[in-house]
Each structure stands twice: as C-alpha cells, then as structure tokens.
Amino acid sequence: MSLGGRSVDVADRALDVALNQSGPIPLDVAFTCTPGQVLALFGPSGSGKTTILRSIAGLYSPTSARVTIGQETWLDTTTGVNLPPHRRQAGLVFQEYALFPHLTALGNVITALNHRSRDERRARALELLELVHLKDRSDRRPSALSGGERQRVAVARALAREPRVLLLDEPFAAVDRSLRRALHTEIDDIRRAFDIPIILVTHDFEDVVRLATDLLILDAGQVVAKGPLEQLTSRPDIPWLRDMVGLGSVFEATVVCTHPARGLAELDLGGYPLFAPLKDLTVGARARIRIPARDVILATQQPSGLSLHNVLPTRVQAVQPDPSVDHVIVQLEVGTTRVLAEVTADAIAQLDIREGQHLYALIKSVSLEVRMITAASAHPPARATGSDGVERR
C-alpha cells in the first residue's frame, strides 16, 4: 500500500493513519489507503476494527494518533490538532445505519447536504438516491424500507457529504446472503464512480473477496499482516487467517468465452484456461476467484478419464510443512498466478514433491468461488458463436 510511483494527485488524496495506545482498547496500527483502493480491516471481535473507523471519523481519539488526508491533518495528538467530525470529510456508514426514523429517505440524505445551497439540496439528494437505485423509494421512511434499502439510504447519505474517504462499518451485517451480493455490486460501482479511499470493516470473508483490493489483518489491536489481497491470501504463514477462513488463493481473471450448453465459463488463469460455473459471467467480464487449498489435487502425470474440467500444468515454488497439523502447503506457479495446495505429508513423500518440480493441479469447477467484479464493456466487439455453442471474441 505504498505510494511509491503514484501520481501527485493520488498522493494528495491518500489517507494516512497511525494509531497507538495501550488501553482501554489496545492499538498499534499504521496504514495508507489511496483513491480507488478498498482496504478491508479483518480480524476477530475486539481487535479494534471499529475503533479505527471512529478515530478516522473524529468520534474517538486514541492516546497517540495521526490521521491525514493528502495535505490536510484531521488528527495529530503531538500538535493538538483534532478536527471535529463535521469538519472531516469522512462518510461513515454504521452497521445499524443510524437513519432518522421520522424522515423519509430523501429527508435523510438532505440532512447531509447543508454545505450546499438550499435550492441544490433536493436535486442532489435525488441524484444520490438514483445512484443507489432508490429514487422510487425517496418518500418512504426507514420503517417502510427493507434492510438492504436502509443500507443504501445510509450509503447515499454518507456520499452526500462529498467525502474524501468512505468508511463502512459492517455494512452488510443485517442483510441476507443474496441481497449482500447485490449490495457488493453497488459498493463496487461507487468505488469506481467516486475514486476515493474506502475502508471496510467486516467479519465475513466473502465481503473481503468480493470488494477488497487490499487487506489489513488485525488481532488484539496489532497488525498481523497487510498488503494487496492476492498476495496476502496466498501466504501460508498467517495462522489466524488460515484457521478463520481456510487457506486459499485469490486472484482476478477475465472471462474469455462461455460454454452455455455445458454451463461453464472459461477464464484466463495466467495464460491457461480455467473453467468455472457459468452463473452470471459474461464474455469480457473481470471476476475474482478463490481456490480453497484443500480442493487442489496434485498429480505427477496428466490424468485422463476424469469428470473434472481443470487440469493445470504447474511448477512448485515452495514446499512448507505445517508443524501444527500433518499437512504440507505447496505453493504452485500457474503461468503468472500463484495457487496453493494443502496435502498430507504422506502425499509429499509418495510423489517426491520438491521445489522446481513440474506437476499438474486438478481443480473441480464447483470448488471455485467466483464473483464478477466488472461487467463486460457496454460496447463489446462482435462475438462469434462456434458450432460447439461457444461464444468467442
């Protein structure tokens, strides 16, 4: 999450946070989040995630702290700077949404537009409700809205402040799984439209996989690890992450063609085809994929006569025994992508697996966890459909 090599414009809009205290909530945290990034704060309850958001928003001041956005200082305990919340351009969405029950959806958004002239407020509030697909619910009070709709009103109200950073505190906790996935898409659209740093606090790793570009893992207020999502999820040396969500690889890939008759989509994995369930994937879309390490089978020779679709040639990068269990983590290179496999020590011995060895990774399509993150272009090039029912470009 370094700013090295980034443009001056991006650096001038980056959020820098450094918080430290011994109690009552221990904190020893420092990170940077730049425009376009979604930094997920992930860790067990009591690890300080919400306290970090409150410190950024101005609702809490740790013993030692510095919070800056570009060249503007919001909090610096060494110099006595501590801007109140209304002077910090931070949009905060609480887990319980914190909407005014006596106001309509439109009224709730308008309350955050005091910085605009009275004539502008209604029109701007309606624009924001339209952005979150709630313009037709603008006259409803929170009690007449569903949990997902209340969440979207809260997001629209946060955006009404024209924030320089958006803070999301467990924003999907009160909605069911299917609605959560729809809201993921809306948050991702907002990330692209507003180009500001976004900090996401969540206890659900699906939120991380679907939305985050970067990950900061916390435990008891301490930073366990931080960095780009794809790198962190491919590291076998973070026991808490492995124990909490299971070891696995996360990466992005492009849908190169679809096989409607077979119910499959073909993605490009480091130069090799990877077949996944078709679902809502379309040609040209970008998807984020997670492969659980325990679902990867290794073979020294290319097998035949199997029901699975993915047989990928790989090269062993590292073999790391796990002393806590009788398992071994094998880091594999598939083209330009890293994939992890978790196998027994007996399998390592039987196959004589070692660094530099060429193996085949066998992965069932149904084992893949796939989330579309960017739809295909609105004006895609013409597609040709072959006799096999495959759509190609």
Phi and psi (nearest 5°) for 293? Answer: -60, -30
Yes or no: say if 247 and 213 are a contact pair by the CB < 8 Å rule.
Answer: no
CA-based nearest residue to 266, from 249, 289, 247: 289
Yes or no: say if 94 and 154 are a contact pair by the CB < 8 Å rule.
Answer: yes
Please give the pLDDT value at position 376.
Answer: 58
Does the predicted model carry a pTM greater than 0.85?
Answer: no
Question: CA 101, CA 154: separation in Å to the nearest integer?
Answer: 12
Please give the pLDDT value at position 119.
Answer: 87
Q: For each of the chain's 393 residues, which pLDDT tens digit applies?
A: 333 444 447 677 899 999 999 988 899 999 999 998 999 998 888 889 999 999 999 999 999 999 999 999 999 999 999 999 989 999 998 877 788 999 999 999 999 898 898 889 999 999 999 888 888 989 999 999 988 888 889 889 999 988 999 999 988 776 667 677 777 777 888 888 888 999 999 888 888 888 889 999 998 899 988 998 888 877 777 766 777 777 888 888 899 999 999 999 999 988 889 999 998 889 998 888 989 999 999 999 998 888 889 999 999 999 988 666 678 999 999 988 889 999 999 999 999 999 999 999 999 999 998 887 776 544 333 333 333 444 443
Yes or no: say if 293 and 340 are a contact pair by the CB < 8 Å rule.
Answer: yes
Please give the pLDDT value at position 324.
Answer: 61
Please give the pLDDT value at position 110.
Answer: 95
The structural domains of the chain, with segments of one domain joined by +, span 8-244, 248-377
- The count of other CB atoms within 10 Å of the CB of residue 143 is 9
- Whether domain 248-377 has CATH 1.10.10.410: the reply is no
**Superfamily assignment of 8-244 in CATH?**
P-loop containing nucleotide triphosphate hydrolases (3.40.50.300)
Please give the pLDDT value at position 325.
Answer: 62
- The count of other CB atoms within 10 Å of the CB of residue 204 is 15
With vertex at residue 227, the alpha carbon angle to CA 14 and CA 362, rounded to the nearest 5 degrees, is 140
> Please, which residues have CB within 8 angstroms of residue 98's CB and are 6 or more apart in sequence?
154
Alpha-carbon torsion 182, 185, 189, 191, what sign?
positive
